[in-house]
Amino acid sequence: MLQRLAENFQYCELLNYASNEKNPFKRLAYISAFNVSAFGFNTFRTLKSFNPILGETYEYIDNDLNFKFIAEQVSHHPPVSACHVQGTNFDVFSNNQIKTKFNLFKGALIITPASKSIISMKNLKEFYSYSKPTIFVRGLIFGKMRIDCNGKCEVHNNTTGDIATMDFLEEGLTTKVGTIKGDIKNAKGEVVLKIEGNWQSHFDLIYPKVGDQEAIRETLWKRTMDENADEESHYYFTKFVANLNNLTEELKQILPITDSRFRKDQRALEEQDYDFAEDEKKRLEQKQREARKQRELDNKKYEPIYFREIKDEKSGETLYVNSRDYWKDRENKDFSLPNANDIFS
């Protein structure tokens, strides 16, 4: 699950474009496109992710897209994974708090995000927050299981008051699956740009018609897949996604013992050793239960290693921010912290 959070940044160049864009409304559009792009490869990604162990961490550094990612499992009940991403000109704080329910009439599991993500554009001194659409896991009773996104989501420029609103439309007689429509409004509530596209494939920005000039359509994001890749046989993994669990000899020397790459059950599943993976998963879960019981006996509240929960004054959102600098610990080669237990041993 921590690696799934990292997947959201496969199209991180959109945030780089936003940070260098002079037009504030197009800047908002780039961030909206980034929000949409996170769902582009999820349609048939229906296999359940591994639940991280409390205190589990995951780091990722992308030298091509120029960002650093750190995530931690900060809560077990309810399960919450928090992450912080640092780019040249931006910081992103996000987590995966959700609410779930089963809708028998629709034959779907409904997953509603319970938190917003926060973006700070450091070079622009602007602050953004955005929500995510409701996710439907369809085909639980009939047909092929698939992911669908429905509902409204918004991207706010909390500094200027500008807002982008997008509707993820439900498939119908006249609506293709994945269709999104929306607009960008200034602080006065006036529509300045239109949004059209499909969360499975592309995000278009439409500039208004001026005089005799026709409206101009610009594609800000387009989903890409590896050339000639058989998506289904590769579990709908792109090269970016497939690389996230890679553990090199160099990384073994510098990662903390809490990093997801050291999970033996996850590694065994990847190597198709299913019996060991199942046994190891049960062992880790039992170890986690025993650790929780011990904290209860000691009347001790669990404290995350690198994050703390706050209520942001600007957005009013509850979010997780850094309580300690992971990258400084990495630079000092010192992860010997009180909460950094050997959770996988």
pLDDT tens per residue across span 14-37: 999 999 999 999 999 999 999 999
117-to-93, 97, 325 alpha-carbon distances in Å: 6, 11, 20
DSSP code of 262? G
The model's confidence at residue 226, banded by pLDDT at 50, 70 and 90, is low
Confidence of residue 167 (pLDDT cuts 50, 70, 90): very high
**How does strand 146-157 pair with strand 117-121?**
unpaired
Residue 228 predicted with pLDDT over 60: no
> pLDDT over 90 for what percent of the chain?
64
Whether residue 342 is predicted with pLDDT greater than 90 in this model: the reply is no
Which of 182, 178, 133 lies closest to 153 in space, CA to CA?
133
Residue 328 pLDDT more than 90? yes
What percentage of the chain has pLDDT greater than the value 70? 97
Are 199 and 178 in contact, with CB atoms under 8 Å apart?
Answer: yes
pLDDT confidence of residue 85: 97
The secondary structure of the chain in percent helix, strand, coil, rounded to multiples of 5, reads 25, 35, 45
- Assign 229 a pLDDT band (cuts: 50, 70, 90): low
pLDDT of residue 314: 67
Lowest mean pLDDT among 72-81, 141-150, 256-265: 141-150
Contact 154, 167 (CB under 8 A): no
Mean pLDDT, all residues of the chain: 90
Q: Which residue has the higher pLDDT, 144 or 14?
A: 14
Distances (CA, A) of 234 to 53, 223, 315: 26, 17, 40
Enumerate domains of the chain plus CATH numbers. Answer: 2-242 (2.40.160.120)
Buried b (16+ CB within 10 A) or exposed e, 23-33: ebbbbbbbbbb
Q: What is the mean pLDDT of residues 33-43?
A: 89
Question: Which range, of 73-87, 107-121, 264-278, averages the lowest pLDDT?
Answer: 107-121
What phi and psi values does residue 294 have, to the nearest 5 degrees? -65, -40
In this prediction, residue 54 carries a pLDDT of: 93
Least reliable range by pLDDT among 25-39, 187-201, 323-337: 323-337
Residue 233: per-residue pLDDT:
73
Check: CB of residue 130 under 8 Å from CB of residue 154: yes
Radius of gyration for the chain, computed over Cα atoms and rounded to the nearest angstrom: 21
**So what's the pLDDT on residue 147?**
86
Q: What is the pLDDT of residue 178?
A: 92
pLDDT at 211: 72
**Spatial distance between the Cα atoms of 95 and 113, rounded to a whole number of angstroms:** 9
Kindly state the DSSP code that residue 261 receives in the 8-state scheme.
G
Question: Measured over all CA atoms, what is the biggest interatomic distance in the chain, rounded to whole angstroms?
Answer: 75
**Model pLDDT, residue 337:** 72
Weakest-pLDDT range from 184-188, 293-297, 326-330, 331-335: 331-335
Asked if residue 78 has a cis previous peptide bond (ω within 30° of 0), the answer is yes
- The pTM (predicted TM-score) of the whole model is 0.92
Sign of CA dihedral 294, 298, 299, 302: negative
- Position 329 scores a pLDDT of 92
Q: Which pLDDT band holds residue 339 (cuts at 50, 70, 90)?
A: low
Contact of 137 with 147, CB cutoff 8 Å = yes
**pLDDT at residue 340 in the model:** 67
CA distances from 307 to 59, 166, 196, 257 (A): 14, 30, 36, 17
Contact between residue 168 and residue 153 where contact means Cβ atoms under 8 Å apart: yes
Q: Dihedral, CA atoms, 62, 68, 72, 74, nearest 10 degrees?
A: -140
Q: Does 341 have pLDDT greater than 90? A: no
Q: Which residues contact 36 (CB under 8 A, 6 or more apart)?
A: 166, 180, 197, 199, 203, 221
Whether residue 188 is predicted with pLDDT greater than 60 in this model: the reply is: yes
In this structure, are residues 12 and 29 in contact, taking their beta carbons and an 8 Å threshold?
Answer: no
